Amino acid sequence: MFIELDLQSDTPLYTQLADQLTEGIASGELKPGDPLPSIRRLAEDLGINLHTVNKAYNLLKQEGLLQVHRKTGVIVQPDGMPGVTEAFEAKLRRQLRSLAAAAAVRGMAEEVFAQESKSVYRDIITNRGGE
């Protein structure tokens, strides 16, 4: 799986990494049970620090997307992905709210905003680059 980090971005490296791994799982490129590179290995490949990768892995572990086994290494959650919890719904709505307000104030219509959402979602599932 190809991962690209933008050092200039205002999004933290560990967040970028976690996001891209999440996309990989969502698209099916990474399947349940698939092994991920070791912390040190991935850090080496990406040219970043061990702890930054560790932070991203742990974030996804907290969310239930990864399992981290001592010595066995890190694998994609094989026992079923987490569902849409109340907490997740609330968080999603909160973040969507910020985006929707910015879109609405610029005159982007409701249907266009919804269509953008649908389009972006599909883009991830069909494993396209993004544009």
Partner DNA sequence: TGTTTGTTATATTACATATATAACATATAT
Partner DNA sequence: ATATATGTTATATATGTAATATAACAAACA
48 interface partner picked from a copy of itself, DNA, none, CB below 5 to 8 A per type: DNA
85-116 burial, b at 16+ Cβ within 10 Å, e below that, comes to eeeeeeeeeeeeeeebeebeeeeeeeeebeee
Q: How far is the CB of 23 from a copy of itself (least distance, A)?
A: 4
In the region spanning residues 74 to 93, those forming contacts with DNA, defined by CB under 7 A, are: 74
Q: Give the residue among 16, 127, 30 at the shortest CA–CA distance from 77.
A: 30
Which residue of 51, 120, 127, 128 would you call a contact of a copy of itself, by CB under 8 A?
120
- Contacting residues for 46 by C-beta, under 8 A, at least 6 apart: 3, 5, 17, 53
Interface region with a copy of itself, contact rule CB under 8 A, candidates 35-43, 45-53, 67-75, 98-106: 98-106
Q: Applying CB under 7 A, does 73 fall inside the site for DNA? A: yes
Which residue of 25, 56, 59, 74 would you call a contact of a copy of itself, by CB under 8 A?
25
